[in-house]
Structure 1
């Protein structure tokens, strides 16, 4: 039997009197692992499907009561309207993030099922709330008041962003269209979760004999050797590099790529078609010509024209270098395998021949470098650098309650004050999400009884160690680790008053983590932790110099590959024509012809069926390159002041990372740079200047 208790939402501002909004809701049971005091970690080890259901239902009931109370206010103010709405958003987002995270990571099938079920339930509620006309009327009433005009810029942005968000969520539609909007959002939520499940549960395994496995690193082979002597290699992100870069047999590489690019394709091809169609319908319903036009409104780019110009300019900048890169790869192919240079280059051969060039012409062997990068040492080095640079302290939580024994938990401190908490879930396992993400679990917010610190989780799929060998990563994977941990630091840095101001523009968010990839290209920093797993020998300076010299091998081709993905994403969501059914396979061929560099598409594959971005993050891929331009420009300040300069690091943390959406992005970037930003550093980083 549930008790009935009064829930008090305290809303306070500096120098403002406190006001209470009371509602009557059911109490969350004391033994529910999500029932904790301020800044106590959730008891993840005890989470069950039932506890997720109770937790989410409690938050829904409480939030619904608070929303109803807001709508009853006779004179809407910041304190009685926007602040309780921020409180509701905070709790619902926490519940949604945790439910979805456990869907991605739990080893229990019931917990995973309840995680996605209740995440979708919260998605539906958010759709209802964000299109609530009575609630929106309260917001508009305050925005038209004299009190609104007296707000400082940060609080005006807070109010304006909420109102703009409601406008983009169908609040101004008539009742019939609003019903259609809600149905579309529910369908899209359903389809995206089906797509993810199909991709993550695909049992794609390449079985090789000794001949087929020739060239693969011995340690890698040992990891996947079966009792019958064959090698059973799952096609997933953590195995892709070792196979595609090292397998001597072109047929092995092709077979692997076929498997990798078809994960979940039997169902996801159709799901993607439905997603594109429904998102198009959503954009039209909202008064836009395309879904991309609708999606880009709140981003820095603002419209498809800006994105297309950005993409096309970079295509032009990188094309000549890409064509040169192909000639170099063909020459290497001729040298190694005596294949005539007038023969087309196969997409599944690019990584292999690039790797051969690195090993023979630059004396760079990724597998030998891996031996200097055991995961444990890399984490120690990463922690040491981030703590020093950003003036923070990380403390591991002993005997932390986590969802899997591999997971580690840490608290972050700023001069002795708790600043945040993060979890590391770094290695693959069955049914776990297979990509690499920083997953925000709680954004950070001022509460009436203190500051609720942000919480995040780094989800990785790095190769796990064995009884004989520790986990070791490539330099490229180290870059991924530094990148994703940069996202963690972005979240840990936030200290704003409102949870709804914790996120920056979606096409800038990658910049704040991409910048940190630069540190692993400094020898003093890399050598401080890059030590051989057996001998303890420091990564030789000569080998590092070779890596630097080889850094831009195939950089033009790599840029074109990224741009190809950007173009595909934008075509899906900006060029969709309902009168002409979309062939998502043919689109790859059309883009290859348009770029005029090479045929990337492999017949019989469907990479669009296992590409998480176009599923859950549509009209996003250009943001990686858009952000990279900002990242490289901001890095010039560290190059000037010193890569370990704490004053610059703290300035970056306080000005850029901690900002969220409290100030305009370009404004804070310009303040950090001391000048308007430009793309010179980015072009230089590709070797295209």
Structure 2
């Protein structure tokens, strides 16, 4: 009788440094042992070769998860630094394996004709990985590729560390907090010098730029926010882009974008530019119309204003929604206390996907504010999740899902971590939407964590599809009936349906200029990786003028803290590409019953649970019964 896998046992609070090192070192040693066996005495059957390779990849992914996750979130800097070192060891081994000609020969000599579809896909993808690593290049080229890979990782680590540790702040007089919610003011006491410190962390900067009446204070904080990690990361990025360009050229690609896009839905680098221009054109009319409304409202306060920039945009968008669209965000937030939202999210997703979330109070996590839950489906535990949702020093500054363990059927349970930086009190509705979005990745990780092959486990689809399931889950955070199940104010009153409907109408305001802003980010991501640029800020200004409808804010260098330039590299377009697909998939749901079990079950089983076992386009077509189109997205944008 096979014993069911159990969650990863975590250490006592004082043992983290040793545990992180031991966990990664043991898994790396396991990887090397299995690979050595494959090279010295490979199994006779192709399927058995792939199974040994799968075991090696499981071990390598376990080591990588420990390094990548704890380097970003552990409260002890010594642990974060140790995890950074471990990631260097992981990357080195991964690079060495990809350039190992003996290992490649084992796979190149396999006859895959008798393999089933999944195993054949593993073999095809493995051979593709070797080719993309440069294993077929001459020895000098392979050594250069090895050096470039190691240098790229060090630069990526520096880039992330500079952002994590680059928190900035402004000190303001108490009267400059006018307009802020009272609970926010209460959480920011006046210091001994009679001033209040406001930081560039999300729980400070997002509400401040939205509600603070003092234009000078808003501009000061937004400017600091847009100069995080400057000038250090400007230097880091220029070298990182150069390393990636050389890497792609050595492998025979015209640009890094061509190399990167080869394994994505979009296929080619040039198609990225075409997609960006297409969305830019689609959004133009809506963007300029709504921006004009903002400028007109700004003129009521500053009659000589001719344009509006990032220091004022969020504030005046909120005024327009409040004054013209009857939505007061400060009233809205009273219905979203953090604890209720967290439980509501679990209840909604549990009902939607047939999941049960059982609290694990004794999970022994890395911080006391982390909440852990076992995940069950049909009465069987299928994974564990951890919610690390509040800011602290040295922690990852954005919102993301991290793997702690990638699930493999019968071997190990999937475990994922949601890392965010939310207030502990009331949430803005935008933060509720963000929480639903990021939780979508976590659900995807767990449901797709029941695969036999680790390379198909979890969020293992093409990278320009991974946001689509999360973007679609956002829709449940906009539905009045869904919100009524958990959104209540301090008096116990449920959020009124008419307010939610007004919120949806107000959310439509600005979606055109939001799309144009996203295309500016995407163009920057693509352009920086396809041309040699000495002055990144100057080029940023040019791209902003072309794609965004808002002007550059003098003295800022937002690329230095735009973390997606590392992880997404040239492919930030993927957020909008995924949104096109998300809107199309959502069209299959009944707007009058978002919990329809037949539709939700089909989506769960045909898209989420399949992980990377099929191409994303095929998963979507299987669910929709047809290929995906732009139609739903274009209709939404035109509403």
From 470, 482, 495, the counterpart of 2:436: 482
| Aligned ranges 1:66-215 → 2 under 5 Å | 66-73=34-41, 76-142=44-110, 145=111, 148-215=112-179
- 1:248-647 → structure 2 map (5 Å cutoff): 248-335=213-300, 337-340=301-304, 343-446=306-409, 450-464=410-424, 471-494=425-448, 495-502=450-457, 503-532=460-489, 534-574=490-530, 576-577=531-532, 581-595=533-547, 597-599=549-551, 601-639=552-590, 642-647=593-598
Match of 1:28 in 2: none
Number of aligned residue pairs: 633
- Secondary structure (helix, strand or coil) at the match of 2:386 reads strand
Post-superposition Cα deviations, 1:246-273, rounded to whole Å, max 9, x if no partner, equal: 1112211111111111111131110011
Q: Which of 220, 230, 240 in structure 1 is aligned with 2:195?
A: 230
Structure 1 position 376, deviation (Å): 1.1
The residue number in structure 2 matching 1:39 is: 6
> Does the 8 Å contact 1:409/1:424 carry over to 2?
yes
Q: Shift in Å at residue 212 of structure 1?
A: 2.2
Q: In the superposition, relative to structure 1, how do residues 117 and 545 fare at CA in structure 2: closer, same or farther (>3 Å)? A: same
TM-fit CA distance, 1:276: 0.7
- Distance (Å, rounded) in 1 between the aligned partners of 2:583 and 2:108: 40
Q: Indicate how the Cα distance of structure 1 residues 483 and 625 shifts in structure 2: closer, same or farther if over 3 A, else same.
A: same
Instruction: Report the 3-state secondary structure (helix = DSSP H, G, I; strand = E; otherwise coil) of the residue aligned with 2:335.
Output: coil
Do 1:195 and 1:271's aligned partners in 2 also have CA atoms closer than 8 Å? yes
Secondary structure of 2:56's counterpart equals helix
Deviations 1:625-651 (A, max 9, x none): 000111111111113683011222121
Tell me the distance in 1 between the aligned counterparts of 2:573 and 2:108: 34
Give the Cα–Cα distance (whole angstroms) in 1 for the partners of residues 94 and 548 of structure 2. 44
Pairwise CA distance, 1:596:
7.2
- Using the alignment, how far apart are the partners of 2:463 and 2:364 within structure 1? 32
Pairwise CA distance, 1:73: 2.9
Could you tell me how far apart the structure 2 residues matched to 1:157 and 1:682 are? 31
By how many angstroms is 1:683 displaced? Answer: 2.0
Query: Does the CA-based 8 Å contact 2:245-2:256 persist in structure 1?
Result: yes
Please tell me whether the aligned partners of residues 244 and 351 of structure 1 are also in contact (alpha carbons under 8 angstroms).
yes
Show structure 1 runs of 4+ deviating over 6 A.
none
The SS at the match of 2:417 is: strand
Which sections of structure 1, spanning at least 5 residues, go unmatched?
A: 1-11, 13-35, 465-470
Quote the offset at 1:674 in angstroms: 1.6
TM-score, normalised relative to structure 2: 0.96
Identify the range of structure 1 (585-594 vs 521-530) with the bigger mean alpha-carbon deviation. 585-594
Superposed displacement of residue 305, structure 1:
1.8
TM-score (norm 1): 0.89
Q: What is the DSSP-based 3-state SS (H/G/I as helix, E as strand, rest coil) of the residue aligned with 2:266? A: coil
1:220 corresponds, among 176, 184, 193, to 184
Once the two structures are superposed, residues 360-385 of structure 1 have per-residue CA deviations (whole angstroms, 9 ceiling, x without a partner) of: 11221112211100111112211111
Q: Is the 8 A contact 1:457 1:488 kept in 2?
A: yes
Structure 1 residue 357, shift from structure 2 partner: 0.6
Q: 1:306 to 1:224 in 2, by over 3 A?
A: same
CA contact (8 A) 1:76 1:139 kept: no
What displacement does 1:37 show? 9.7
User: Would you say 1:651 and 2:608 are equivalent positions?
Assistant: no
